[in-house]
Amino acid sequence: MEQLKFFSEYLHYMAEVNWLIISVLSFLVINLFFLRLQHQKNEKQTLKIISLEKDLHALANAAIGVGSRVLKVEREQRNKPTPANATEQFVSAVNQNMPVDFYNSSSQPYEQAIRMAQTGATVDDIMNVCGLSQSEVELICMMHRLDKAS
C-alpha cells in the first residue's frame, strides 16, 4: 500500500512538474517569437537609418556644390562691369545721336537686341539670346517702337 501511495504521489508530483515545464516552455517560445519580431523590426530600422544617412550625405554634397557654384557666380559678377553703367552709357549715346561703338564688347549684346527687336522678336527671345535683363530688353523694344512710330 505504501508503494501505491508513493507511486500516486509521484504521479501527482510529475503532473505538476509537467505543467510547470509546459508553462516555462510556452513562455520561452512566446518570448522567442517576440524577440524575433523585435529583431526584424530593428533590422528594418537600421536599414532605414543607413538609407537616410546616405540621402543626408548626398544632400550635404549637393548643398556644398550649389554653394560653390553660387560663390563662383558671385566672383564672376564682381569682375564684370556693372550692367547698369553699360546700359546708361548705351542709352545716353543713343539719345544723343552719338555713334555707338558696336565693336565694343559691352555694346554687342545691345546691337543684337536692336536687330532682333527690329525683326519682331519677343522680349523673352531677346533676353535669352543676348543675356540682357527684362527691363533692358523692354527699353530697347520701346525705343524701337518709338523709332517706327516717328
Cell digits for 110?
Answer: 545691345
Contacts (Cβ under 8 Å, ≥6 apart) of 106: 81, 86, 89, 90
Structural domain spans, the chain: 1-80, 83-149
Mean pLDDT over 74-86 rounds to 65
Q: What is the pLDDT of residues 108-130, one digit of tens each?
A: 788 888 888 888 888 998 899 88
Cell digits for 27?
Answer: 513562455
Q: What is the pLDDT of residues 8-22, one digit of tens each?
A: 888 788 888 888 889
How would residue 77 be classed by pLDDT, with cut points 50, 70 and 90? confident
pLDDT of residue 93: 65
Can you tell me the distance from the alpha carbon of 37 to that of 145, in angstroms, rounded to the nearest whole number?
A: 77
pLDDT of residue 80: 63
Q: Indicate the residue type of 144.
A: H
